[in-house]
Amino acid sequence: MQEQTDNCIYNTVAGLPPTTASIFATHVKTLMKPMPNAVDDLMHAAVGIAGEAGELLDAVKKQWVYNKPLDMVNMVEELGDLEFYMEALRQNLGLSREVILLQNIEKLKHRYPDGYSDAAAQARADKA
């Protein structure tokens, strides 16, 4: 984790304006309830992700099962809640979103060198 400066934890280079990501990181850092120990902090974030993923799934279920229109206001809210806990978990682990996104790109480039296919999904070349 980079050192916190001013009200922005990711933009540590003087003179750079805050980005949406850095503002959001500070937002999460400010609002995430500190737990008594590191394991509880980790569990709080992980359980939060699972809970918000469930809320997102329920919103989709209402369209899929009950033929209701997809509630886009709720979808945006639940995606934001999910982002909140994902950022909290990243901060807990000292990882940036950028590092994780780049790692995922590399993994899936190896798994799907010619684009998605069921065969490549089954072979999981990145796990060989």
Rounded to the nearest 10 degrees, how much is the dihedral formed by the CA atoms of 64, 69, 72, 77? -60
Query: Closest distance between Mg ion and the C-beta of residue 65, in Å?
Result: 20
Q: Which residues contact 114 (CB under 8 A, 6 or more apart)?
A: 120
> Are 44 and 33 contacting, i.e. CB atoms less than 8 angstroms apart?
yes
Least separation, in Å, of the C-beta of 51 and Mg ion? 7
Window of 2-10, 51-59, 68-76, 108-116 that interacts with Mg ion by CB under 5 A: 51-59
Q: Which of residues 63-102 bind Mg ion (CB under 5 A)?
A: 78, 81
59 Cα distance to chain centroid: 19
User: What angle in degrees, to the nearest 10, is found between the helix axes of 20-31 and 72-93?
Assistant: 80
Q: For residue 5, how many other CB atoms are within 10 A of its CB? A: 12
Stretch that binds Mg ion, among 3-11, 40-48, 52-60, 86-94 (CB under 5 A): 52-60
From the CB of 117, what's the least distance to Mg ion, in Å?
35
The size of the interface with Mg ion (CB under 5 A), counted in residues, is 4
Binding residue for Mg ion, selected from 40, 55, 58, 126, defined by CB under 5 A: 55
What does the binding site for Mg ion look like in residue numbers (CB under 5 A)? 52, 55, 78, 81
